[in-house]
Copies of this chain bind each other. A is one copy, B any other.
Amino acid sequence: MGHLSITEENYLKSILKLSEHNHTKIGTNEIAYEINISAASVSDMLKKLADKKLIIYQKYYGVKLTKTGEQYAKNLVRKHRLWEVFLTQKLQFSWDEVHDLAEQLEHVKGDDMINRLEKFLGNPKFDPHGDPIPDNKGNIVVRKQQLLIELKKGEKAVIIGVKDTAATFLQFLDSIKISLGTKFTVIGVVIYDHSMQLKLQDGRELMLSQQVCSNIYVSS
């Protein structure tokens, strides 16, 4: 557990992120795109991370986190999400403002501090975007969730998360007064463009585009 640089931490975190949707090995280009760096630089860094046994790396064949690397990366995600909760719950930031700050705060060293922060926040299990917060051993609560787009006419559900966390998307949701916890029924699906019409618990009716519906997680 010798301590890593911020740069190394960011590589691990993006490899973890890419691993989540992509079960096979991660390519150099994918990482390069994710953290906005040239593929050549990524190639260099992968060698270093492999030397430190944080990733399994075979030239030309992509990369995978080792158990140690995964542990480290999950701890970063834990820190990131707990800080996001702090920023929204305690400092009254909105959910579209917290990511960049958490991106910095996640690199502050001190596991004891994070455990205390977790307790101070009341042991939250999800961050402001509905993403699960790993515990201090890296375990993550799995929730039964699906994308709004997958629902059929007549189904009832509640919004529990967002897939896209871009500020513009979050601000759009704010503007139409949709947030985590909003309950609704699907009252129509347009065949032509797959827009969905929802009836919210408060009585309002709303039409959402396919793109929006593909970026909202719900639970029934």
Binding site for B on A (CB under 8 A): 87, 90-93, 101, 104-105, 108-110, 113, 116-117, 120
Interface residues of A, dominant DSSP: helix
The CA-CA distance from A104 to B79 in the complex, in Å, is 15
B116-A109 in contact (CB<8A): no
Task: Tell me which residues across on chain B come within 8 A of A110, comparing CB atoms.
Answer: 101, 104
Count identical subunits in the complex: 2
The CA-CA distance from A110 to B110 in the complex, in Å, is 21
Which single residue of chain B is at the shortest CB-CB distance from A83?
Answer: B108
B91-A116 in contact (CB<8A): yes
- Measured between C-beta atoms, what is the minimum distance from A78 to chain B in Å? 16
In addition to A87-B113, A90-B120, A91-B113, 12 A-B residue pairs with Cβ atoms within 8 Å of each other are A91-B116, A91-B117, A91-B120, A92-B116, A93-B113, A93-B116, A101-B110, A101-B113, A104-B108, A104-B109, A105-B108, A108-B108
The CA-CA distance from A70 to B131 in the complex, in Å, is 41
Which single residue of chain B is at the shortest CB-CB distance from A107?
Answer: B104
Which single residue of chain B is at the shortest CB-CB distance from A103?
Answer: B108
Which single residue of chain B is at the shortest CB-CB distance from A110?
Answer: B101
Task: Tell me which residues across on chain B come within 8 A of A105, comparing CB atoms.
Answer: 105, 108
Which single residue of chain B is at the shortest CB-CB distance from A113?
Answer: B101
Which single residue of chain B is at the shortest CB-CB distance from A109?
Answer: B104
